[in-house]
């Protein structure tokens, strides 16, 4: 049997290696138009910033090593230019010699990935404007930054790669500006969680410009490039990174008559077969089932791509028995001293799909508070208002984010509820967690909301509360003096029972504290003393204050 694979990074390399393990006699050919195969795509920003110091560490396997170990025909710098499904053949161009030839197949695998978007903005062809996709891109960016004496950089786009690039350019000593069209960075998380990241970026010396986009680039001979924004702002840069998203590479598939999905990716079935049963596809170029919404999604992440590669190889070599169920889009990134993670659906996706949900915020210590070094974890849950099914989760913090997001991801993946979070058994010792882990605590809070023990108000409702609403802050007087929400009056929790007669009944009440716990206790006191319309501000003053804090966009 003869198997052809188009694309040699992540998914494609995984397919090739597993096919050989399953079938020692098969003829396996892998085409890669670039110079390298099987490299650590996700590690590229960290090599630019010298966190990864040795370039060779980026390569999981070289073409020579692949050939020697797996006896696979690796053809780098060779581009498949056309697929002819009716003849079960592909046309290939050797990018070094210019030669073209045809190769037949029994089964074909498409793993072309996704390409960075490069919009047609006036001046975008300047040599100082880069995108980051592969090792040569990385080499060009790093060489330009170091050898041309770059002092200032602008990153266009505040997604995961954009923030990783901003951090690593800052590590190189460059004054770095992020320009983002939306009102927040990192779209997988919702605004109040992203607001924590905004403040941290500013603290790290990043110049952050939100709700603004690039109108054009202005080139002045012998001078830095000027990035001219829609607002009229002008930012000078010695180099610019375009990181405004990716587009699945579907040209080959489309020209071959393969079906595309509504989102523009290659359509595949549960076995990862395209509309042609002898052609499979995987990775960033395909649409997959979103396990929360039930709809299709594009999820360009390395973890799913590698799992898909294993399934494709099994289905080719062993028959179509393995199924790829879909993904929930679990992601994580380091942003200077913070870790930001998300899994499942965020509020924007749930709103777009018309799926009803409840959101709750909690702030918990990363490990036992009495053990030195504990830091705060901000955690947001989104769950069904009817049955408590966990729909999504987001965490921002400095320590222990990774293991908590994985606990939540596993719960979502198996269709679990917030009640399941209260029962999760975790490894506990004071340096690692608390007897009630932050995930357990988030579950307790969500369960209280679901059972009706407490009703919640959200941070963005505060500004539009009806005039007759009684606003209570139950923190201590010292805490209240350090900062409070305008219009809230202070009655410390421990004194609340003595002041119940002073609070008018029959009017709505919203209670806040620092993070929500004391507010919950106050709500329980009030509701059991005849106050009917009482709500607790989810996440308390901490969530409100960070979500409403202004983003200072002045240079350092």
Calpha distance 59→281 (Å, rounded): 23
488, 512 contact by CB (below 8 A): yes
With the CA atoms of 182, 188, 190 and 194 taken in that order, what torsion angle do they form, in degrees rounded to the nearest 10?
-70
Spatial contact of 554 and 475, defined as CB atoms under 8 Å apart: no
| Pairing verdict, β 114-116 and 246-248 | antiparallel
- CA pair distance 161, 117, nearest whole angstrom: 13
How far apart (Å, rounded) are the C-alpha atoms in residues 54 and 56? 5
The answer to whether 377 and 393 are in contact (CB under 8 A) is: no
Could you give the dihedral angle defined by the CA atoms of residues 19, 25, 29 and 35, in that order, rounded to the nearest 10 degrees?
80
The SS3 of residue 190 is coil
Beta carbons within 8 Å of 449's beta carbon, 6+ residues apart: 358, 360, 455, 456
Residue in 351, 507, 544, 523 with CA at minimum distance from that of residue 452: 523
Question: What angle is formed at CA 322 by the lines to CA 317 and CA 323, rounded to 5 degrees?
Answer: 140
What Rg value do the Cα atoms of the chain yield, rounded? 27
Q: Which residues lie below 8 Å from residue 550, measured CB to CB, with a gap of 6+?
A: none
- Kindly list the distances between the CA atom of residue 9 and the CA atoms of 61, 113, 202, in Å, as whole numbers in the listed order: 10, 8, 35
The CA distances from residue 294 to 260, 265, 300, 350, in Å, are 18, 17, 18, 11
Alpha carbon separation from 252 to 82, 83, 85, 91 (Å, rounded): 6, 7, 11, 11
What lies within 8 Å, CB to CB, of 224 at 6+ separation is 152, 236, 237, 238
Residue 516, CB half-sphere, CA atoms under 13 Å: how many? Answer: 29
Return phi, psi of residue 226, to 5°.
-105, 125
Locate the DSSP E strands across 336-436.
338-344, 358-365, 376-383, 390-397
513 assigned to active site: no
Q: Are 214 and 197 in contact (CB under 8 A)?
A: no
Kindly state the DSSP code that residue 499 receives in the 8-state scheme. G
Q: Rounded to a whole number, what is the distance in angstroms from the first to the last CA of the chain? A: 62
Distance CA 552, CA 556 (A): 10
Question: What amino acid positions are annotated as catalytic residues?
Answer: 42
């Amino acid at each position: 049997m003869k198997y052809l694979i188009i694309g040699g990074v992540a998914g494609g390399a995984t397919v090739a290696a597993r096919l050989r393990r399953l079938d020692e006699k098969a003829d396996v050919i892998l085409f890669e138009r670039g110079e390298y195969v099987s490299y650590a795509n996700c590690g590229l920003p960290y090599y630019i910033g010298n966190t990864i110091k040795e370039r060779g560490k980026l390569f999981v396997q070289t073409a020579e090593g692949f050939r020697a170990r797996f006896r696979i025909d690796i053809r780098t710098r060779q581009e498949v230019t056309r697929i002819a499904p009716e003849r079960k053949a592909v046309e290939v161009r050797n990018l070094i010699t210019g030669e073209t030839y045809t190769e037949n197949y029994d089964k074909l695998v498409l793993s072309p990935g996704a390409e960075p978007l490069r919009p047609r903005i006036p001046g975008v062809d300047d040599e100082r404007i880069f995108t980051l996709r592969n090792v040569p891109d990385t080499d060009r960016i790093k060489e330009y930054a170091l050898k041309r004496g770059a002092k200032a950089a602008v990153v266009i786009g505040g997604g995961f790669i954009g923030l990783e690039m901003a951090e690593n350019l800052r590590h190189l000593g460059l004054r770095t500006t992020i320009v983002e069209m939306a009102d927040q960075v990192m779209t997988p998380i919702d605004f109040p969680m992203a607001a924590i990241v905004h403040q941290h970026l500013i603290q790290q010396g990043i110049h952050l410009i939100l709700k603004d986009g690039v109108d054009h680039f202005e080139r002045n001979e012998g001078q830095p490039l000027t990035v001219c924004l829609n607002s009229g702002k002008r930012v000078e840069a010695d180099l610019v990174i375009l990181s405004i998203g990716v587009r699945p590479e579907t040209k080959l598939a489309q020209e071959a008559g393969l079906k595309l999905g509504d989102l523009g990716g290659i359509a595949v079935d549960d076995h990862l077969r395209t509309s042609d049963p002898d052609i499979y596809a995987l990775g960033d170029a395909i649409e997959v089932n979103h396990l929360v919404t039930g709809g299709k999604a594009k999820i360009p992440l390395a973890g799913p791509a590698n799992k898909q590669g294993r399934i494709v190889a099994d289905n080719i070599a062993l028959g179509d028995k393995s199924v790829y169920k879909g993904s929930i889009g679990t992601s994580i990134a380091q942003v200077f001293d913070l870790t930001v993670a998300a899994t499942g659906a965020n509020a924007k996706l749930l709103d777009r799909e018309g799926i009803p949900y409840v959101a709750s915020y909690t702030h918990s210590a990363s490990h036992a508070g009495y053990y030195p070094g504990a830091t705060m974890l901000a955690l947001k849950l989104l769950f069904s208002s009817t049955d408590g099914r966990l729909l999504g989760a987001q965490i921002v913090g400095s320590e222990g984010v990774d293991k908590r997001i994985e606990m939540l991801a596993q719960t979502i993946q198996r269709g679990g509820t917030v009640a399941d979070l209260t029962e999760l058994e975790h490894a506990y010792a004071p340096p690692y967690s608390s007897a009630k882990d932050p995930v357990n605590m988030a579950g307790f809070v969500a369960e209280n909301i679901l059972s009706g023990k407490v009703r919640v108000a959200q941070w963005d409702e505060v500004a539009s509360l009806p005039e007759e609403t009684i606003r209570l802050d139950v923190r201590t007087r010292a805490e209240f003096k350090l900062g409070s929400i305008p219009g809230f009056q202070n009655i410390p929790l421990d004194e609340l029972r003595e002041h119940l007669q002073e609070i008018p009944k029959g009017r709505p009440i919203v209670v806040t504290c620092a993070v929500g716990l004391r507010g919950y206790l106050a709500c329980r006191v009030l509701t059991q003393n005849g106050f009917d319309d009482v709500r607790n501000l989810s996440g308390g003053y901490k969530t409100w204050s960070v979500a409403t804090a202004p983003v200072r966009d002045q240079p350092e």
